[in-house]
């Protein structure tokens, strides 16, 4: 991770082939969110049995996010963090980078079973919460955020969640995934694993964030 941060800082300075870091970040993040992560979600859920366990994991995810938000608010009041920065503290503590950082560690410790846990926490707990409660927190602390943007569209019409719904429908209908399709999707599903392809989103923003407040508008 430290190497990726260093590469991100160098990228902003050197600009290889004239590629701007922000533009490159948006392209890579788009590839991950629209292609690689949906493949990971789809294959993972197709390999899992439907039952009560996914609902338990989703409820657990909601609980730890709410706990993190409350903890962030308590920390802000205790250490008298300025109002302008308190929103960043609350969102940073409440919403963890589960897929990028949690997946490599847990999969190394517990094997493939950890992938299903991460997918459920990220797609069914963290994603809906960040696009609803997270947006409301960001709007509360950032006056410059547009208030007319509703989170309903990005909440429902996003590739990972749509692939999760498709997997649920196929599993409910007892439809098995053809081996050719699985062979095609497996390399795509492996790509978001370490080093996570979405890390450039983090590292390319590291340099300009040093010594400044963290903007919250990226959540919208």
The answer to whether the CB of 115 falls within 8 A of the CB of 44 is: yes
Average of per-residue pLDDT across 42-71? 87
Q: What is the pLDDT of residues 178-220, one digit of tens each?
A: 899 889 998 888 876 654 433 334 333 433 433 333 343 333 3
pLDDT for res 15? 86
pLDDT for res 120? 82
Model confidence at 114, pLDDT cuts 50, 70, 90, reads confident
pLDDT for res 66? 93
Q: What is the pLDDT of residues 128-170, one digit of tens each?
A: 888 788 888 888 887 655 555 555 666 677 888 888 889 888 9
Average of per-residue pLDDT across 24-29? 86
CA separation (Å) from 119 to 92, 102, 136, 180, 210? 20, 10, 24, 23, 31
Cβ neighbours around 37 below 10 Å, total? 26
Domain residues for the domain of 135 are 2-210+212-216
User: Which among 154, 95, 106 is positioned nearest to 130, based on CA atoms?
Assistant: 95
Number of domains in the chain: 1
Helices (H), the chain: 2-14, 21-31, 37-46, 53-78, 83-94, 103-110, 113-119, 127-130, 133-141, 152-156, 159-172, 179-190, 199-203, 206-209
Q: Per-residue pLDDT for 70 more than 70? A: yes
């Amino acid at each position: 991770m430290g190497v990726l941060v260093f590469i991100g800082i160098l990228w902003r300075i050197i600009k290889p082939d004239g590629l701007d870091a922000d533009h490159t970040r948006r392209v890579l993040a788009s590839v991950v969110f629209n292609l690689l992560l949906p493949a990971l979600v789809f294959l993972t859920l197709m390999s899992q049995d439907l039952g009560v366990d996914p609902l338990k994991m989703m409820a657990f995810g909601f609980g730890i996010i709410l706990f993190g938000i409350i903890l962030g608010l308590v920390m802000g009041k205790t250490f008298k963090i300025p109002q302008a920065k308190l929103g960043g503290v609350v969102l940073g503590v409440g919403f963890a980078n589960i897929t990028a950082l949690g997946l490599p560690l847990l999969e190394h410790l517990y094997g493939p079973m950890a992938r299903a846990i991460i997918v459920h926490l990220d797609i069914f707990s963290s994603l809906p919460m960040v696009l609803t409660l997270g947006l409301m927190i960001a709007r509360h602390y950032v006056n410059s955020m547009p208030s007319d943007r509703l989170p309903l569209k990005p909440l429902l019409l996003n590739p990972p969640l749509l692939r999760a719904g498709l997997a649920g429908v196929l599993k409910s209908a007892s439809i098995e995934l053809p081996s050719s399709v699985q062979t095609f999707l497996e390399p795509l599903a492996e790509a978001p694993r370490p080093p996570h392809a979405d890390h450039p989103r983090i590292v390319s923003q590291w340099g300009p964030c040093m010594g400044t407040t963290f903007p919250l508008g990226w959540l919208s």
